[in-house]
Structure 1
Amino acid sequence: MAEHGPVLSVHPSSCLVDEKTEVEVKHLPADYKITLHALIHSEDGDDWEAFGRYTSDSSGTVKVFRDKSLGGTFEGVEGMGLLWSMRPVPESKPGRRFRKNNVQTPVKVMFSVYEGHLARGFKHHIPLTSATAERWYLAPEVQRVEVTEGEIKGTLFIPPGSGPFPAVLDLWGGQGGRVEYRSALLASHGYVSLALEYIGILTAAGKLHHVDNTYFETAFKFLQKHPKVRPDQVAVMGMSFGVSVMLGLTASSEIVEMGDIKCPVLLIVGEDDQNWPASESAADMKRMMEKAGNSHLLTVLSYPGTGHLIETPYSPHVRFSDFKLLEAKTKVVVLWGGETVPHSRAQEESWQKTLAFLEEHLYDNSREVTLC
């Protein structure tokens, strides 16, 4: 071992969650076996970890973006493997899902270097060195504004600058509540984004309030009228059940008639979706649009080995998790599907293509778009 011990560097030490992080260890002996370990303590109180086993080169250096992991939660040259391969630590309760609720604080990742090739029990070992990195959904100076416009409930994220900006109406899935992290990240890339709450809203009497299309149309118009928004450059983005809502809005009907859609549509499909018949639905949509003569508006990204929960890049893959049924007030386990490696690849690529799609159709043109 070098006189002063190994040096672990994480660069950048603070960045957005969709940015790549370079992890490097220097001042090791040549051909020295180490295990690099990453740990996140989630807001739900769960610990998530990933690790890779490495051997230093002749200069006593390990570079995660260059060198092969010889085993662990990922193998081979995987520069971001210490993040996308994260999973709950072995003693965790089953059915956990990683989610960031407070976007005004970062995800803190503790990177550590351990001597030898380890497989478990990291908390019982003393690391040679450690370093902490912060990963943010919210860029500096992005405004977060609570929205209570009439019946509308949600959170508005506004990029820094005078604007006006293109905007996104962000509809999350069927579990309800207010999910802000994707909207925060969209605003960090230059879009006003409204994370709309639409499931699980309680009335003054404490009963569930069921919204209809008028609620979503009101939210859309709220965005259009906002002084920081370009009114003719607004997209709607959905995930899971949010896709059904979104398509119903763009087709202007309760039964989605894809032939009625007149705006560009980006459809992201997990071919191993065990929750919804995503591939079959995508094929039906394509046939309907071909028959109507508007298939030129449809772009389909279809990913083998990918499940239902296609999250932002480098988020942990969850094949199944607990799911709360709001009306029944019970909890069930839902199978989402996907295999970790292809699912993680899909998350990274689909996000890059989503941002490119938004830039093409909102920043370069004046027309509304749909993403699902």
Structure 2
Amino acid sequence: MTYSQARLRILPSVRCLFDKLVQIKVEGVAPHKPVELRSKLVDDKGVVFRASARYKADAAGLVDVCRSPSLGGSYRGVEPMGLFWSMAPDTPHSKLQKKTVLSPAVVEFEALNGETGERLATASNERGCMTEGMKRIPLQEGRLRGVLFIPPGKGPFPGIMDLYIFGGGLTEPRASLLAGYRTGDWHPIYFSRWYHGVIDVSFSVWDLSDDPTSGENRASLIPIERASCQFLFAVSEDDHNWNSAFFAKHAAAILRNHGKESFQVVSYPKAGHLLDVPHMPYCPTGFHALVGSVVSFGGEPKAHSEAQLDLWERVQAFFKSHLQQKSSF
């Protein structure tokens, strides 16, 4: 068996949704020989992201990324989606930008002879954010901008509003992915994304040290004790932008002091600031408009990736449970 018989496969399909796991296999290489795998993605702003990992083929001339350990490169060990979450930008301090969900993100792969560097095989994975039949409707009212995602099927459906933004403008992958999610008897969701052209609706304090419960700072507190809804607080314990653990504990204490147990707190010890959809490349640093310089977002790549996957599953379970209970459709 020679390297010329090599084949690179993406299973179960070369097309999938962005949050789905795929199996990457290299078949038909010489037994026990080194193979290097590389991944590459160009985001919507033209920034190139890359990762690589070195493997050793088994006795059958197979490298299965879901089973075979990486021996070095962008990550080590058995990491089925390592070639995705470990991708780093050619341009420093860049986060992968997927501003439009009308087209998929295309990840290109190549397998190389680990001894000579010769290219053996190539493949690509198209990772979309919209399910078939979903409608994407841009919305505008004055300076407000948004997008409404309507899943296929007969409505009405329960709805969620997502206020997540990064770097100004709309960021649509999370909204569109959740809009198409369904399991059991849970209806898919209307999902809209909003931002204001002048006012940043996200928290705008970096490394806040003042006590928000004291003096004039109390005016900034959100009176969550008045809320009748359920809360899911996600804490990145290595968040270098917000003191996430402090604020989550404070919010939980307020609710508990008012006789409410309508919350969950989930903590991720080595996760950084930017928890995104699963398999999104880890972003350690970026330009922060508030402070006018590059800042560290914290976290460790592998742990941060695991946190994104775990939180995504928890968010889906949270909405399934509480939207279904409240729904009167």
SS of aligned partner of 1:153: strand
Per the alignment, residue 132 of structure 1 pairs with: 124
SS of aligned partner of 1:59: coil
Taking structure 2 as the reference length, what is the TM-score of the superposition? Answer: 0.87
SS of aligned partner of 1:128: strand
Per the alignment, residue 169 of structure 1 pairs with: 161
Matches within 5 A, 1:7-18: 7-11=7-11, 12-18=13-19
2:69 is the counterpart of 1:71: no
Change (3 A) 1:187 1:284: same
> What's the CA shift string for 1:189-216, capped at 9, x where partnerless?
1211111122xx1xxxxxxx4489xxxx
SS of aligned partner of 1:314: coil
> What's the CA shift string for 1:249-291, capped at 9, x where partnerless?
xxxx963123222111011110001001110111111111111
Cα offset, 1:82, TM superposition: 0.8
SS of aligned partner of 1:168: strand
Matches of 1:146 and 1:317, distance apart in 2: 29
Which residue among 254, 278, 283 is the counterpart of 1:313? 278
Matches of 1:211 and 1:34, distance apart in 2: 47
Per the alignment, residue 299 of structure 1 pairs with: 264
Percent of residue pairs bearing the same amino acid type: 32
Q: Which moved more, 1:335-344 or 1:177-186?
A: 177-186
Matches of 1:107 and 1:117, distance apart in 2: 31
* Cα contact 1:35–1:117 (8 A) shared by 2: no
Gaps of 5+ in 1: 119-124, 202-208, 213-238, 243-252, 368-372
Matches of 1:24 and 1:304, distance apart in 2: 32
Matches within 5 A, 1:337-348: 337-348=298-309
Change (3 A) 1:48 1:150: closer
Cα offset, 1:15, TM superposition: 0.5
Output the aligned Cα RMSD.
2.2
> What's the CA shift string for 1:36-73, capped at 9, x where partnerless?
11111122222111111111111111111111111111
Matches of 2:307 and 2:316, distance apart in 1: 14
Per the alignment, residue 222 of structure 1 pairs with: none
2:137 is the counterpart of 1:145: yes
Per the alignment, residue 96 of structure 2 pairs with: 98
Matches within 5 A, 1:1-372: 1-2=1-2, 4-11=4-11, 12-88=13-89, 92-116=90-114, 126-149=118-141, 152-173=144-165, 175-189=167-181, 190-198=188-196, 201=197, 209-210=198-199, 255-294=221-260, 296-325=261-290, 331-366=292-327
Change (3 A) 1:47 1:282: same
Amino acid at match of 1:288: I
Amino acid at match of 1:9: R
Matches of 2:288 and 2:200, distance apart in 1: 21
Cα offset, 1:364, TM superposition: 4.0
Cα offset, 1:241, TM superposition: 5.5
SS of aligned partner of 2:9: strand
* Cα contact 1:54–1:117 (8 A) shared by 2: no
Taking structure 1 as the reference length, what is the TM-score of the superposition? Answer: 0.78
Per the alignment, residue 234 of structure 1 pairs with: none
* Cα contact 1:159–1:188 (8 A) shared by 2: yes
> What's the CA shift string for 1:56-95, capped at 9, x where partnerless?
111111111111111111111111111111112xxx3321
SS of aligned partner of 2:119: coil
Matches of 2:142 and 2:297, distance apart in 1: 35
Matches of 1:340 and 1:160, distance apart in 2: 36
Gaps of 5+ in 2: 182-187, 206-218
Matches of 1:331 and 1:6, distance apart in 2: 49
